[in-house]
Amino acid sequence: MAIQGKKILICVSGGIAAYKINYLIRDFIKKGAEVQVLMTPSAENFVSKLTLSTLSKNPVFSDFYSENGTWNNHVEFALWADVILMAPCTANTLGKMVHGICDNLIIATYMSAKCPVFIAPAMDLDMYQHPSTKQNLELAEDFGHFIIPAETGELASGLVGQGRMAEPETISHTIQDFFSSGKNSKNLVGKTVLITAGPTYEAIDPVRFIGNHSSGKMGFSIAEEAAKRGAKVILISGPSTLQSNHSNIEIHRVTSAREMFDQVFNFYGNADIAIASAAVADYAPKEIAKEKIKKKEDELTIELIKNPDILKTMGERKTKQFLVGFALETQNEEENAKGKLNKKNLDMIVLNSLRDEGAGFKNDTNRIKIFTKSEEKEFPLKPKNEVAKDILNFVEEQILK
C-alpha cells in the first residue's frame, strides 16, 4: 500500500467541508498512514478537536501555544511530514499561503515545510471563480504545489456550481498515486506536456468517415503518467472512448486532423514537452458530400488531399519544446524511424514494433525502441502504462541532463 507508513499532515481551515476530513483521516489511518492534524481557530467552529484527535490518534493543535503554556513547534510539524494537505483550503487560507501572510499555526507550518504540498480548495462558486482565487491557485501551482480541484455540485449556500471540496476518496487517491509513482514523482512539476492521442476521422459525407483502429491507449497512458509526475497535461484526443479524471489533465476532443492541428497550435507555444502519439490520417476527402452518398455505380472514387503533418509543423515551429514523435512501420523499421527523427526535427522518436501479436494499435501492450540523434534503447513487450513510464523516464533523462 503506497500510503503505508507515510506521515500525512492535514491542515484544516474554516469551511463547512471540514466535516469531510473525518472520513479522510479514517481512510488514511486504515491504510496505515500516520496522521497529524492542525487547524485554524475558525475551523473549530465546523469540526471538533476531539473528533479529529480521536480519529487521527494524535493531539490536534490550532494555536502556537497549548493551554498549559507549551509551545507548539510549527517547524517540527513541517519537518515531520512526508506530505502536507491543506484541506479544506478556504479562499482566505489560499491567499495567505501564496502571499506569505503568516498569522496562524497552519500557515507558519506550511511556510516551514520542504515536503510536497497538496491543496483541496473549498468555497462558494463565486469565490472559486473570482480572479483572485484563480490567480492564487496558479501561483500555488507555480510553487510546485498540487491542486486537487473543487468539484461541482450543491454548495452550502444552496447555490449549485464548482466550489465543493473534492470527495475524500478523490483526495486519498491523488495522494496514493503520488506516493506510488515513486521517487520520480516530482520531476515534471512546473512542466507543461502537450500530447496528441487516438485516431482522426476524416468525413466523407454526414454519416461516413475514413479512420483507423487507434484506441488512444498509448497517449492516455502517457498523459496519466505525466500528470502523476506533476506535469500540467494538455491532451488533444481524436475520437476515443477513453476518459481521464486526473486533475492535472486538460482534455480537448477533436475529430479530424485539421481540428487536431488547430488545437495543438493553440497550446504548443507554452509546452515544454510535446509528444505526438496520435495516429493522424494522412489524407482526407477533398470534398465532404453535404448529403449521404447514394449507392449508384459499381465503382466510387473519392478524391483525397494530404492533411497537414502536425508533428512536422511542430518541428518547424520548435522553440524550447522537447519534441517526441512515434513511428509505426512495417518495413525498414529502424531506418524509417531515424529518417522521421531528422525529417521532422524531433528530439526523440518511439518506434512501435508490430513484430509481436499483442503489440500495437488496439492492444494493451506495446514493444518499443527509442531513438535520439545519439542514443537508442530497446524495451521488451509491456503493458502500455508501463511503456508510458519507460518513455517518460527517457524524456526526463534527456531534459534533466
The residue written with cell numbers 473543487 in the block is 150
Contact with ligand CTP (CB under 6 A): which of 151, 205, 309, 386? 309
Which of these is catalytic: 45, 212, 270, 342? 212
Contact with ligand CTP (CB under 6 A): which of 12, 78, 94, 278? 278
Contact with ligand CTP (CB under 6 A): which of 63, 76, 282, 287? 282
Cell of 121: 480548495
- Closer residue to ligand CTP in complex, CB, 84/350: 350
Give how many residues touch ligand CTP by CB under 6 A: 15
Cell of 311: 508533428
Q: Cα(231)–Cα(391) distance, rounded to whole angstroms? A: 15
Residues 6+ apart with CB under 8 A from 246: 223, 224, 227, 228, 233
Q: Cα(4)–Cα(27) distance, rounded to whole angstroms? A: 11
Binding mask 336-375 for ligand CTP (x = CB under 6 A): ----x-----------------------------------
Provide, rounded to whole angstroms, the least separation between the CB of residue 148 and ligand CTP.
32
Q: Which of residues 179-218 bind ligand CTP (CB under 6 A)?
A: 196
Burial class (CB in 10 A: 0-12, 13-18, 19+), 36: buried
Provide, rounded to whole angstroms, the least separation between the CB of residue 330 and ligand CTP.
9
| Residues 190 and 112: beta-carbon distance below 8 Å | no
Contact with ligand CTP (CB under 6 A): which of 14, 88, 325, 360? 325
Q: Cα(162)–Cα(364) distance, rounded to whole angstroms? A: 35
Residue 16 interacts with ligand CTP (CB under 6 A)? no
Tell me the CA distances in angstroms from 185 to 169, 224, 225, 269, 317, one per residue in order. Answer: 20, 12, 9, 25, 30
Residue 311 interacts with ligand CTP (CB under 6 A)? yes
Provide, rounded to whole angstroms, the least separation between the CB of residue 358 and ligand CTP.
20
- Closer residue to ligand CTP in complex, CB, 105/346: 346
Q: In what order do the strands lie in the sheet with 273-276?
A: 249-253, 232-237, 192-197, 273-276, 322-328, 348-352, 368-371, 376-378
The residue written with cell numbers 502517457 in the block is 222
Query: 52 has which bridge partners?
Result: none
Residue 212 appears among annotated catalytic residues = yes
Provide, rounded to whole angstroms, the least separation between the CB of residue 188 and ligand CTP.
20
Residue 257 interacts with ligand CTP (CB under 6 A)? yes
Q: Cα(120)–Cα(113) distance, rounded to whole angstroms? A: 17
- Closer residue to ligand CTP in complex, CB, 135/212: 212
| Residues 371 and 337: beta-carbon distance below 8 Å | yes
- Closer residue to ligand CTP in complex, CB, 190/285: 285
Q: Which positions are catalytic?
A: 212
Binding residues for ligand CTP, rule: CB under 6 A, are 196, 257, 276, 278, 280, 282, 307, 309-311, 325-328, 340
